[in-house]
Amino acid sequence: MMNYMDEYRRWMDSPALSESEWRELDEVGNDENEIKSRFFAPLEFGTAGLRGVMGVGLNRMNRHVVRHVTQAFASVICAQGGEAMRSGVVICYDCRENSEAFAKTAAEVMAANGIPSRVFDSLRPTPELSFAIRRYGAIAGINVTASHNPREYNGYKVYWADGAQLPPKHAQAIADAMAKIDIFTGIRRAAFSQAVEEGLITTIGPETDEAFLENVLAQAIDREAVATVADGFKIVYTPFHGAGYKLVPEALRRLGIKHLLPVLQQMVIDGSFPTVKSPNPEEPAGFRLAVELAEREDCDLIIGTDPDSDRVGIMVRDSAGEFVTVSGNQTGVLLMDYIITARRRAGTLPENAAVIKTIVTTEMAREVAQRNGVHIDDTFTGFKFMAEKVAEYEVSGSYRYIMAYEESYGYMIGDYVRDKDAVTASMLLAEMAAYYRGQGMTLLQALEALYEQYGWFAEKTLNRVMPGIDGLEKMRGLMQRLRETPPAEIGGVKVLRERDYANGKIIVPGLGAVDKTPISGSDVLYFELEDGTAFIIRPSGTEPKIKIYILVSGNDGRDCAERLEKYASYAQTLD
């Protein structure tokens, strides 16, 4: 660990700091814990890039850290040669405070390194960045976003030429370069206006939106189902103050949705997210204003997209007429079944169709796929791994993917993006809800019918937050203890097998390692229990917490709920 006081003093003495930045650091000069928090280590660069609380310091998101990581990224691109440099990068940003400024800062550093940038003229959905990288043949992309994190955060996500998040070898190359480049003296910078004059920074806008929307709308399967119910079918939409505000409503209108009611207070672009505690569609509390509007206007469906519009959550009415959330696992299963059956009806389901999910996503997806003769593959959490699997299919000609999804409200459909895409998913969710309305069913009734057809499954994700400087150590300690002394029972039920995805070993208690997992290299422990339950533990890649996933199956909904409660109680004992 670096000497945080020395690093603090180095920053205080640097002429690179503005007066306001210097003042911010000066104000914490007598607070050693705060200094340690800001300077104990750099923000860690991983395959998802950087993410952290905004502020001045080495362990904060600020313009100096953005310049540092961009200089390192530029060096990796330059090492690819002149053609890669000339291909340039696409830069996108979300609604968060400083996002536009950080995006322009990144463009200045790229320009100074001889790498041209195409910068969006205003905030855009993350999937449109993935699309634009592919459309313009760029070598890479940068997105300034902290996705659904609280308002204090910002982040820097990096993409490669395929439109997917950076592969591990390039991420490691950037991390290595950052370790060698001085954050103040090792940076090349150009003036933004001069770089524009020299053609090293150009702006992209509506023409890219149109090309993206054309691809999105091509994913519609049954427009007639929408037209049939359009006169009485109402949808409430909220972008949570973020990047979905424009393209999601446009996609829904072009699909044929006549009654789209946006939550006006949340259509206002605002990185302080004044109407929600957390701009996360996984949290029902954020939908309060949407529910009020839906109840007032007697609507059928609520759609909410997170600030960078790559995740989408829905709420629907239950049998009592109350709005309830549909989980990411449930939404994914509904959408997957709908895409398979609707494309089969339309005659557009490929014979070699495949779906992709993560290892922590519901096993009901496997049941739906296999019963429909559709291939299914598991990957680690993160759409970069799903994108790699899609690329494998393309190279081998083995399968054609029709959908990829993970339980945390992320869905990818179509060949034009290589990341989760709330614009396309919102459109297909609206189409699916319209189809079932035409059948006299709500989405909850449709889900119930799937349970009757495929069996009862339920899932729960628990987050054990471990913040602060010692949080990482606590997380590592818990994973180490579970590896060294794995539980023989979980919740009173025998552990049959343990999969350690870090080294790929499949371990049977009493026998030791008996087999290898198809994929390895991720810090995940997966316990298979005697009753068919999966109890999975992994550290979050973007937040200071351990994530625990409980995947159960049972005889009915009540049976599943009882099992979830039992295993959730056990999970609370882990520390």
Task: Give 503-555 as a 3 state SS string.
Answer: CCEEEECCCEEEEECCCCCCCCEEEEECCCCEEEEEECCCCCEEEEEEEEEEC
- Bridge partner list, 237: 262, 303
For residues 326, 330, 333, 336, the Cα torsion angle rounded to the nearest 10 degrees is 20
Dihedral in degrees, nearest 10, Cα atoms 298, 301, 302, 303:
-150
Indicate the burial class of 254 (C-beta count within 10 angstroms; 0-12, 13-18, 19 or more).
middle
Alpha carbon distance 149, 161 (integer Å): 26
- Concerning whether 147 is annotated as a catalytic residue, the answer is yes
Give, in order, the Cα–Cα distances in Å from 189 to each of 71, 83, 192.
9, 21, 9
Catalytic residue, candidates 37, 99, 147, 408? 147
User: Which two three-digit tokens encode residue 308?
Assistant: 């960078």
Q: Measured between alpha carbons, how far apart are the two ends of the chain, in Å?
A: 24
- 375-379: strand order across its sheet: 375-379, 353-358, 400-406, 410-412
Q: Give the HSE-up count for residue 187: Cα atoms under 13 Å, Cβ half-sphere.
A: 19
**Residue pair 149/542 in contact by the 8 Å Cβ criterion:** yes
Give start and end residues of each alpha helix (H) in 88-222.
99-112, 126-136, 168-180, 192-197, 206-217
Q: Which residues are catalytic?
A: 147
